[in-house]
Amino acid sequence: MSARQTPSPSPHGQQALLEAFFLPDLCNARAVIILLALSEALVLALTLIESGLPQFSWQRFTVVSFFVQWVCLLSVAILCQLRVLLARLAVISASLLALLVIELVTLAVSLVGEWLWPVDRTHTDWPWVFRNLLISAIFGAMAMRYFYVQSQWRLKTQAELTSRLAALQANIRPHFFFNTLNTVTSLISVDPDKAEHLLLDLAQLFRAVLNNDDAQIPLAQEIELGRRYLGIEQVRLGNERLQVRWRLPQPLPAALKVPQLLLQPLLENAVYHGIQPSIRGGWIEVELAQEDQMEARSAWWLTIRNSKPQGSGEAGNRLAHNNIRARLAALDKQARLLVDDQGEEYIARLRLPQMAEHAATTVKGNV
C-alpha cells in the first residue's frame, strides 16, 4: 500500500503563507542593503567596545567587517532559498531553523577564516570561534524577534483595514437602498422598462458591495460600476437636477487596476453632500488623465469634480476620505487622494500608479 502524501499547497495558498510569514523576503535587494547597513553598525559598535574611540583601529574594523559581511550575505542567501519551506513551519520551529542556519554559516566562515589567516599558531582558536557563535546567536535571536513583532503589527494593520471593508460591505448606505426601491416602485406602473433597468443596475452595484474578493479590478470595471450608480441617482433625482459628464480616454488603460469600490464612495459623497442639498441640483464631472503623456508607465489622475452649495460637504466627506487614503496606502506608496474645496466646487483627485504586476494585498475601507 502506498504511503499517503501530503498535498502541496496551491500557488494562491503558498502566496498567502508567504505573506503571513514573519520572516521578510530576503531575496529583495532593499532588504539585503538594510541588513548590510545594520551589520556594519554592529561591527562599529563591537570595534568601539574593544578599542574605544581614542584607539580606534581601522584595520580591525575592516577585518571584522569583512568577516561579518560574509556571514550576513551567506545567511541571507540560504534563508532566501529556504523561505518557502520555513513558511510551512510553526513560528518557533522556523525561528530555530533560521538560527541554526546562521550558526552553521558563522561556524563555516570562522573555520575558513582560521585556515586562510593563521596568526602564528598551528591550532584552531576555538574560544574565538565560540565567541563568534555566541554573538551571532544573540543578534540572530534579536533579529528573529524584531521580524516577528513587525509581522504581527503588519497583520494587525491589515486586519483593521479588512474590518473597515466588512463595515462597507455591511452598510453601503441603507437609506440609498430603500430610496432606490421606492423609486423603482413608483416607476413600475409608469415606466416598467426603466424600472427593470434600474433594478439591474442596483443588482450589479450590490453584487460588487457584497463581494468578498479583495483583488484589484480593472479601472474600466470600477468606472462602469460608477456609471450604474450615477444612473440610479439620476433616475431618483432627475436628469435636470443631476448632470453627469465623463471625460475619459478611449480605450481605458488596461494596465490600470484599483481596489473595488474606490470610486463609488467619492461619487456618493458628491451626490449626497454636493447635489442633493441644492434645490437647483448640480453637476458631477469625472476625468481621467495621465500624469506624463510622454512616459507610458507614468501614473494616472482620476478627478471627480462636483458643484455644491457654499460651505457644505467637508464634514460628511472626512470619514470616506480617511478610509480611501488608508486603502491607497496599503495598495502603493505612490497612490494618494487629494481634495480641494473651492467654495461652490469640490474636487477629489486620485493618483493611481500603474500596478499591473503589483502583488500587494488590496484592502478596502468603509464610507
Per-residue burial over 40-74, b if 16 or more Cβ lie within 10 Å, else e, is bebbeeebeeeeeeeeeeeeebeebbebbbbbbbb
Q: Is the pLDDT of residue 272 over 60?
A: yes
| Better-predicted residue by pLDDT, 149 or 11 | 149
Q: What is the pLDDT of residue 59?
A: 76
**Least-confidence region, from 125-134, 210-219, 289-298:** 210-219
Domains identified in the chain and CATH numbers: 11-163 (no CATH), 216-352 (3.30.565.10)
Question: 0.75 exceeded by the pTM?
Answer: no
Is residue 81 packed enough to be buried (19+ CB in 10 Å), middle (13-18) or exposed (0-12)?
exposed
Share of the chain above pLDDT 70, in %: 80
Taking only the tens place, the pLDDT of each residue in 142-190 is 888 888 888 888 777 777 766 665 565 555 556 667 777 877 887 888 8
3-state secondary structure 248-282: CCCCCCCCCEECCCCCHHHHHHHHHHHHCCCCCCE
Taking only the tens place, the pLDDT of each residue in 104-117 is 999 998 888 877 76
Backbone torsions φ then ψ of 293, nearest 5 degrees: -70, -15
Residue 2 pLDDT grade (very low, low, confident, very high; cuts 50, 70, 90): very low
Distance CA 52, CA 258 (A): 55
Taking only the tens place, the pLDDT of each residue in 339-363 is 998 888 999 999 998 754 433 333 3
**Least-confidence region, from 3-12, 76-85, 86-95, 161-170:** 3-12
Are the C-beta atoms of residues 363 and 324 closer than 8 Å to each other?
no
